[in-house]
Amino acid sequence: MTIEVHAATVVVPVVTGPIRDGAVAVDEGRILAVGARTEIEDLYGAAIHRHDGVLTPGLVNAHTHLQLTAYADMATLGVSFAEWVGLFFARYRATTTDEWLASARDGVQQVLASGTTAVADVDTYGFAAVAAQEAGLVGIRYQEVVGADDIRWPKLRAELETRLGAADAGLSPHSLYTNSSETMRTIGELARERGLRLHPHAAETVDECEFVFSGTGPFAVGADRTGLLLDLAGRGCGMTPVARLDALGLLGPDVHIAHGVHVDAADRALLRERGTAVALCPRSNAILHSGEAPVAAYLREGNQIAVGTDSSASNLDLDVLGDVQALRALAISQGYDEPDLDRRLIEAATIGGAAALGMRDIGRLEVGARADLAVFDVPIVDDIYASLVASGHGSCTVTVLAGAVVPRNSLPSKEIS
Ligand SMILES: [Zn+2]
């Protein structure tokens, strides 16, 4: 294969400082060199793509559900989380096989159009895995287990085990309010036996915290209504969701949690101690009235953070830079005033996401990494991270997967609300 060069007004390798008039040389889908355009062109200048704008590693969406893209109308209902969950499951049961696949394909195309090239995707039936593979989108497909009490679990486990062969597979035990404690613990063991990563939802709402601590509230009522026999219902365990996950063996460097909104200082310390990253989903949290994650505390205390959009059912689009912008506003409202804020948020959406997925060859522009790239049409100013954070949402013009430019006319046009 011929070596190709992608040159841009500014190149942001993330692992090193921005390069004005920079370039990346690509060979066999991997990065061969990163540096000044003139040097890279002298060395490898046969086939050159010149991009106006800022070239970054492809973004990493650390929490999404691509299969749910067709549920976009649910993001504007304005109902509480508990009501939303009820409506969600009613619709979920009525969705057909063809609809799931079309929905997942739409999600993959939207993600690529926004400059995201890797996802931590929670997938129930495998349709999103098919759609991602067709398009060349990488990441980890977390097989979801939801609604598993001790009675339903043996059957669900047998079905699950037939689908765990793929190299990109992980497991997503949904949450402490939709699965029994024993199921959650067993899924952790199953993942460790097979070397699979784990990705549960945790500490998303106060209702979840109440259910885990005392066994009461809307999730206890919901479990009762649907006949789900959860051991925490009616009694709780006197713990926070993060502490409970740890007690069940579900934290560790091979795990990242989604949301992490309602976490106290002890929870954050436990996450750091276990090496567990958090995928922050601020726009989803705002839409579902779930609360505001302590972004400033996570940043000051040095927790590993990544950025997720969550699904279209609780967000306005699948562009992680929309959530990066929301995280900035939250951090500032919480008193974070360090000058590194923009850089750290761009890191969260790139190498932070890669770390959350346990992938070392994405989210960075360095020799040997996958040549997954994105170009953003944002103002060229001194602080390019600030420009990406302020103006990057909806500004992706080029997406490159393993060295190949994704044809723009195959992608949906951007619609930013
Ligand atoms: Zn989710």
40 and 133 assigned to the same domain? no
Spatial CA neighbour of 67 closest among 44, 39, 91, 83 = 91
* CA of residue 130 to ligand 1 center, whole Å: 19
Give the Å distance between the CA of 61 and the centre of ligand 1.
12
Same domain, 113 and 44: no
> What is the distance in A from the centroid of ligand 1 to the CA of 399?
25
For ligand 1, the distance from its centroid to the CA atom of residue 70, given in whole angstroms, is: 15
For residue 71, the CA-to-ligand 1 centroid distance in Å is 13
- What's the 311 CA to ligand 1 centre distance in angstroms? 6
Distance 388 CA to ligand 1 centre (A): 25
Q: To the nearest 10°, the Cα dihedral for 40, 42, 48, 51?
A: 50
Confidence of residue 87 (pLDDT cuts 50, 70, 90): confident
Distance 403 CA to ligand 1 centre (A): 30
For residue 46, give the CATH number of its domain.
Answer: 2.30.40.10
Report DSSP letters for 186-227, one per residue.
Answer: HHHHHHHHHT-EE--EES--HHHHHHHHHS-SHHHHHHHHHT
Q: Each residue of 109-133: pLDDT tens digit?
A: 999 999 999 999 999 888 999 999 9
**What CATH number should be reported for the domain holding residue 210?**
3.20.20.140
Ligand 1 midpoint to CA 143 (Å): 12
Instruction: Band the pLDDT of 45: cuts 50, 70, 90.
Output: confident
State whether 180 and 99 are in the same domain. yes
Q: What are the pLDDT digits (tens) for 387-409?
A: 999 999 999 999 999 999 998 87
User: Considering the domain boundaries, does residue 317 fall inside one?
Assistant: yes
Confidence of residue 79 (pLDDT cuts 50, 70, 90): confident
- Domain end among 356, 373, 398: 356
Asked if residue 219 is part of any domain, the answer here is yes
Residue 417: pLDDT band (50, 70, 90) is very low
Q: Are strands 201-202 and 256-259 parallel, antiparallel or unpaired?
A: parallel
How many whole angstroms separate alpha carbon 136 and alpha carbon 118?
9
Please state whether beta strands 373-376 and 396-401 pair in parallel, antiparallel, or not at all (unpaired).
antiparallel
Ligand 1 center from residue 374 Cα (angstroms):
25
Instruction: Compute the distance between CA of residue 263 and CA of residue 280 in angstroms, rounded to an integer.
Output: 12
Handedness of CA 281, 389, 133, 194 (dihedral sign): negative
Whether 415 maps to a domain, the answer reads no
Domain count of the chain? Answer: 2
Structure confidence at residue 414 (pLDDT): 53
Q: Per-residue pLDDT for 361 more than 50?
A: yes
Ligand 1 centroid from CA 354, angstroms: 18
The rounded distance, in Å, linking the Cα atoms of 402 and 378 is 24
Closest to 123 measured CA to CA, from 169, 86, 176, 184: 169
Residue 415 has pLDDT above 60, yes or no: no
Centre of ligand 1 from the C-alpha of residue 200, in Å: 9
Q: What is the DSSP letter of 258?
A: E
One domain for residues 297 and 201: yes
Length of the chain: 417
At 52 the pLDDT is 96
Boundary-marking domain end, from 313, 337, 356: 356
Distance 32 CA to ligand 1 centre (A): 36
* 350 CA to centre of ligand 1 in angstroms: 19
Q: What is the pTM of this model?
A: 0.96
Task: Give me ligand 1 centre to Cα 158, in Å.
Answer: 24
Indicate whether 227 and 298 sit together in one domain. yes
275 and 240 in one domain?
yes
pLDDT more than 90, % of the chain: 87
Q: How far is the CA of 204 from the centre of ligand 1 (A)?
A: 9
Does residue 250 lie in a domain region? yes
In a domain, 416, yes or no: no
Range of the domain at 117: 59-356
Ligand 1 centroid – CA 405 distance (Å): 30
Query: How many angstroms separate the alpha carbon of residue 301 from the centre of ligand 1?
Result: 25
Burial class of residue 61 (count of CB atoms within 10 Å of its CB; 0-12, 13-18, 19+): buried
284/142 same-domain check: yes
- Residue 416: pLDDT above 60? no
Ligand 1 mean position to 27 CA, how many Å? 36
Tell me the CA–centroid distance for residue 372 and ligand 1, in Å.
25
Strands in 277-280's sheet, in edge-to-edge order, are 201-202, 256-259, 277-280, 305-307
Contact 275, 252 (CB under 8 A): yes
| Residue 284 alpha carbon to ligand 1 centre in Å | 9
Q: Is residue 417 part of a domain?
A: no
- Residues 306 and 275 reside in one and the same domain: yes
Distance 369 CA to ligand 1 centre (A): 28
Residue 47 and residue 68 in one domain? no
- Whether residues 237 and 378 fall in one domain: no
108 lies in the same domain as 132: yes
pLDDT band with cut points at 50, 70 and 90 for residue 165: low
Using the predicted structure, report yes or no on whether residue 258 has a pLDDT greater than 90: yes
The verdict on 112 and 209 lying in the same domain is: yes
